[in-house]
Amino acid sequence: MTFDLYNPTEAHQALREVVRAWGLEHVEPQARAHDESETFNEPLFRRLGSELGLFGVTIPEEDGGVGLDAVASVIIIEELSRFDPGLMLSYLAHDILFTNNFYHCANDEQRARFLPAVISGASIAGMAMSEPGAGTDVLGMTTRAVRRGDTYVLNGTKQWITNGSCGDLFLVYARTTDDPADRRGAWSAFVVEACSPGFTAGRKEEKMGMKSSPTTQLIFEDVEVPSANLLGREGQALKHMMRNLEIERITLAAQSIGIALRCVDEMSRYAITDRKAFGQPLSHFGQIQRLLAESFAHTMAARALLYDVARGIRADNRQSLLAASAKLVATGAAEVVARNAIQIFGGHGYTRDYPVERMLRDAILLSIGGGTNEAMQKNIVSDLVRLHR
């Protein structure tokens, strides 16, 4: 049997074909309009769960999920990011940052209470970690949760929260100890419902890209959260965070690869068949050949690394070094390839006549979100130091 790196099983191949066809029919036609209006296509987003069954991809079937793996998540996000990376950013926040993370740190009662609505798409979810003064330095968070009987009272502000203005549920990290020296056992995780008194979403951020995905502050003012919504025990949140990092990084890398693949398709068609200069197709000229060839090669190299890493990622097998490497390489490739595409399109590439302008704007976020590329470099070197000691 021949092994296919990108479709390891027949189920993966079938998933890719269904998702790509659905994306062409339903996601591509609306992408430009929602980018330009900076609006979230909530009905279409919910259909990803209710119609396509793409929520809960990594959740076992016995718990209502699809029962697939990290490769399946990569396939979905790569394919649909060809059409609308912003919509996929909201998908990633819902299905990876919340659903996958929640499942692995929740008990059976919590799973039964929250998973059905999240997997069906009836509820939209997200994760709240970053703060105005704590981005890459997540242990600098100041949001506080104080226990009072059977509730915790949350106070603080979260920043850059995907799905902030449309979400129904959020996985929220907060400090539960007063010891300022305790930077590792100080954090606990909670499920917080957006309908809770004192919970408000701040204004929607006006962003350079990913405009079809809403990003806001979340503000907690004496928000009472039932103790039954504490995930695990107090002080376990850092472990929860770490468990989810690798799948978050490879799915952000998958967004980047989707963007790069779309740009390679667009620039190839334009240079080979659509545009001529001096009586020759653009692809006849050496400068254009360099941009095309390097864009294709960089995309395929990053894609191969991504899928090789994704095959090994499970909840009990973190792959920290390789996941950081995949994100670093893929996000860098997406920016370079999108920029090359704009250069090949010339003046048209700088306008909104073609999607490559939108793809570049969307690509830039991916080297910042989910851990900056500078943080990826630091993490890679730290892991290499540990390996070589």
Burial bucket for residue 30 (CB in 10 Å: 0-12, 13-18, 19+): middle
Pairing status of strand 280-281 against strand 276-277: antiparallel
Provide the token pair at 213. Answer: 């995905």
Give ∠ CA 356-357-362 in degrees, rounded to 5. Answer: 95
Strand 169-175, strand 125-128: pairing: parallel
Local mean pLDDT, 10-residue blocks, the chain (389 residues):
85 97 98 98 97 96 96 98 98 97 96 97 96 78 93 96 97 87 80 97 96 98 97 89 89 98 98 94 95 98 98 83 97 98 96 96 96 95 93
Which pair of tokens denotes residue 116?
Answer: 């059905």
Pairing of strands 199-204, 280-281: unpaired
Catalytic site residues? 248
7: which 2 tokens?
Answer: 């479709």
Strands (E), the chain: 125-128, 144-148, 151-162, 169-175, 187-193, 199-204, 215-226, 230-231, 276-277, 280-281
Amino acid letter at 306? L
What's the pLDDT at 380? 96
The predicted structure's pLDDT at residue 141: 86
Which of 97, 107, 277 has its CA nearest to residue 172? 97
What is the value of pTM for the model shown?
0.96
Of 164, 26, 31, 49, residue with least CA distance to 86:
31
3-state secondary structure 14-59: HHHHHHHHHHHHHHHHHHHHHHHHCCCCHHHHHHHHHCCCCCCCCC
Residue 183: its pLDDT value, please? 66
